[in-house]
């Protein structure tokens, strides 16, 4: 097994080991994992008197109320990215950031509210965190499917 981390490209042939249900299970894990983390952060924030920790804990604790929409959008796109060879860490994080911003815009359009820059930034941050959980879960469960793209010679081209 190759322990190198695929930053940009993954091996398309090795990605055949990852099925759609693997990505779906990873999305479910990203849906469930933030709840106990958020509960712990809220308790830690209350114990230390830190409003920042408490606020992040609150957001993580109640994130399943809104994160399901982004995860439903993310897992088929991530499956396609893996299959075409662009399932590395950086494209996946970019997908999470874009879907987080899109999710904020969808909620704002539905509620008719004004979108502020900090809401877009927090959407991008949380989208990146959730997709990083999905990618890490897949990397832990199916490391052969997230192998780096094999190095190919340039064949005389410079």
Give the start-to-end residue ranges of the domains of the chain. 14-145
Give per-residue pLDDT as tens, 6-54: 888 888 888 888 888 988 899 888 889 989 999 999 999 999 998 888 8
Retrieve residue 21's tokens: 């249900």
pTM: 0.80
Question: Which residue's structure tokens are 């469930």?
Answer: 32
Taking the C-alpha atoms of 79, 15, 27 and 69 in order, what is their torsion angle to the nearest 10 degrees?
-10
Could you count the other beta carbons within 10 Å of the beta carbon of residue 150? 11
Beta bridge mates, 10: 148
pLDDT band at 154 (very low <50, low <70, confident <90, very high): very low
Which value, in Å, is the radius of gyration of the alpha carbons in the chain? 18
């Amino acid at each position: 097994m190759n322990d190198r981390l695929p930053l940009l490209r993954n091996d398309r042939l090795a990605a055949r080991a990852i099925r759609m249900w693997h990505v779906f299970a990873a999305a479910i894990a990203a849906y469930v994992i933030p709840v106990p983390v958020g509960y712990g952060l809220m308790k830690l924030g209350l114990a230390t008197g830190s409003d920042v920790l408490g606020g992040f804990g609150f957001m993580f604790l109640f994130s399943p109320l809104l994160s399901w929409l982004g995860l439903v959008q993310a897992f088929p796109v991530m499956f396609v990215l893996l299959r075409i060879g662009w399932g590395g860490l950086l494209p996946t994080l970019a997908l999470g950031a874009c879907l987080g911003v899109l999710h904020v815009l969808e909620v704002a359009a539905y509620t008719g509210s004004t979108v502020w820059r900090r809401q877009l930034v927090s959407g991008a941050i949380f989208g990146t965190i959730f997709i990083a959980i999905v990618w890490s879960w897949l990397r832990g469960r199916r490391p052969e499917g997230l192998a780096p793209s094999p190095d190919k010679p340039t064949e005389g081209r410079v």
